[in-house]
């Protein structure tokens, strides 16, 4: 990437820059490409000030709403790279995608000049239906690609993933859908630095002990937030190479991102050891709740609580590894027990 003049630098528009994943993605990107020019959607002046003080002049906050589809489409039409990191917001996704086709560079004969669209999805789309039990299937984005494309649209995120794939194929958009599983560690961005692990600690402290659900045999593929940020930037760099890379984009531009597998029993044991040693819970034993007890104990929050503690999704990032990417952070115990911070 040339950094000689601003005219040669790519421009980037991002939604979710103050989020856990989006903020880490942006921070890792700025480390490797400090002069890239970024416009980031924020809700108000306070968020704008937070971004500006964290990143400096190369990140320009733009105040607007994600549901102002015309506005975000216009922003996307001016960017070489569009990153959508606000979750499964299908209408916003489609507005941003459509915006990339309004960019004059979309028609460029040089593939490297055409805009790139990146959407952060998640591996819940292949989650196992039996809570508290381990998924018997490990999904590969190579070997199981046809089955992934055929997933029912009632599954989490599938409708949006399918819409991106269809629009990209019909409009020749260089799109990527990135699908991480469980993410551990503190985020690196200007805003949110905690993920669902904070919620799990809160629920444990509320009940006074550590627990799992059902048989308690469930596991998730896992990645550190820093490795996820590095993987996102790796894929962006590959996309920017154009035909000099073997990266798949558009209709086949779907990538799981994972480093290792971790059982919820191992995580629960780590929770219990830390909190018991600190005197915050009365026992280091891990209990088991039935699904009925989850709903009784947590009321309207029971469905989400049971998802956090009892779900399972196992995936393999085969396409990403074939491109040459490798994770570096395997110290899950540090990430589960790390302190100081909110969790203590």
Q: Do residues 33 and 158 share a domain?
A: yes
* 107 falls within a domain: yes
Q: Do residues 73 and 200 share a domain?
A: no
- Identify whether the C-beta of residue 285 lies closer than 8 Å to the C-beta of residue 266: no
Domain range enclosing 245? 9-130+137-190+223-258+314-327
Using the CB atoms, write b or e for 219-228: b if 16+ within 10 Å.
Answer: bbbbbbbbbb
From first to last of its 344 residues, the chain has per-residue pLDDT tens of 444 344 467 899 999 999 999 999 999 999 999 989 999 999 999 999 999 999 999 899 999 999 999 999 999 999 999 999 999 999 999 999 999 999 999 999 999 999 999 999 999 999 999 999 999 999 999 999 999 999 999 999 999 999 999 999 999 999 999 999 999 999 999 998 888 888 899 999 999 999 999 999 999 999 999 999 999 999 999 999 999 999 999 999 999 999 999 999 999 999 999 999 999 999 999 999 999 999 999 999 999 999 999 999 999 999 999 999 999 999 999 988 875 444 44
Q: Do residues 116 and 28 share a domain?
A: yes
Q: Do residues 175 and 292 share a domain?
A: no
* 335 falls within a domain: no
Q: Do residues 247 and 282 share a domain?
A: no
Contacts of 116 (CB under 8 A, 6+ apart): 80, 81, 82, 174, 175, 176, 236, 239, 240, 249
Q: Do residues 176 and 271 share a domain?
A: no
Q: Do residues 204 and 160 share a domain?
A: no
Q: Do residues 15 and 50 share a domain?
A: yes
- C-alpha 139/C-alpha 286 separation (Å) is 29
Asked if residue 340 has a cis previous peptide bond (ω within 30° of 0), the answer is yes
How do beta strands 219-224 and 260-263 pair? antiparallel
Cα 187 to Cα 23, 196, 206, 230, 341: the distances in Å are 7, 12, 24, 12, 12
- C-alpha 37/C-alpha 55 separation (Å) is 11
**Which of 145, 140, 27, 155 shows the shortest CA–CA distance to 85?**
27
* 177 falls within a domain: yes
* 29 falls within a domain: yes
Q: Do residues 177 and 208 share a domain?
A: no
What are 72's two structure tokens?
């975000």
- C-alpha 187/C-alpha 284 separation (Å) is 28
* 145 falls within a domain: yes
Q: Do residues 179 and 68 share a domain?
A: yes
The count of domains in the chain is 2
* 85 falls within a domain: yes
pTM of the model: 0.94
Give the CATH number of the domain where residue 80 resides.
3.40.50.720
- Identify whether the C-beta of residue 187 lies closer than 8 Å to the C-beta of residue 198: no
């Amino acid at each position: 990437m040339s950094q000689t003049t601003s005219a040669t630098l790519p421009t980037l528009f991002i939604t979710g820059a103050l989020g856990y994943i989006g903020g880490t993605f942006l921070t890792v990107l700025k480390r490797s490409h400090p002069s890239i020019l970024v416009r980031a959607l924020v809700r108000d002046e306070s968020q704008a000030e937070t971004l500006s003080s964290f990143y400096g002049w190369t990140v320009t906050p733009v105040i607007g709403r994600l549901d102002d589809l015309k506005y975000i489409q216009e922003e996307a039409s001016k960017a070489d790279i569009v990153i959508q990191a606000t979750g499964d917001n299908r209408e916003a996704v489609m507005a941003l995608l459509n915006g990339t086709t309004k960019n004059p560079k979309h028609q460029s004969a040089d593939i490297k000049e055409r805009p790139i669209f990146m959407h952060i999805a998640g591996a819940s789309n292949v989650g196992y239906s039996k809570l508290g039990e381990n998924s018997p299937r490990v999904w590969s984005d190579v070997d199981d690609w046809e089955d992934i494309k055929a997933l029912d649209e009632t599954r989490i995120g599938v409708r949006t993933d399918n819409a991106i794939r269809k629009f990209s194929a019909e409009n020749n958009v260089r799109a990527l859908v990135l699908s991480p599983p469980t993410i551990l560690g503190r985020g690196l961005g200007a805003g949110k630095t905690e993920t669902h692990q904070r919620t799990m600690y809160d629920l444990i402290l509320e009940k006074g002990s550590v627990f799992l659900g059902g048989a308690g045999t469930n596991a998730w593929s896992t990645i550190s937030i820093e490795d996820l940020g590095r993987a996102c930037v790796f894929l962006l760099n590959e996309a920017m190479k154009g035909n000099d890379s073997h990266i798949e984009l558009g209709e086949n531009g779907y990538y799981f991102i994972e480093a290792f597998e971790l059982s919820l029993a191992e995580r629960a044991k780590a929770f219990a050891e830390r909190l018991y040693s600190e005197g915050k819970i009365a026992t280091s034993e891990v209990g088991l709740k039935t699904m009925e007890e989850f709903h009784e104990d947590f009321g309207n929050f029971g469905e989400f609580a049971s998802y956090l503690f009892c779900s399972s999704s196992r995936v393999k990032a085969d396409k990403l590894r074939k491109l040459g990417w490798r994770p570096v952070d395997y110290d899950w115990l540090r990430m589960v027990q790390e302190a100081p911070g909110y969790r203590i």
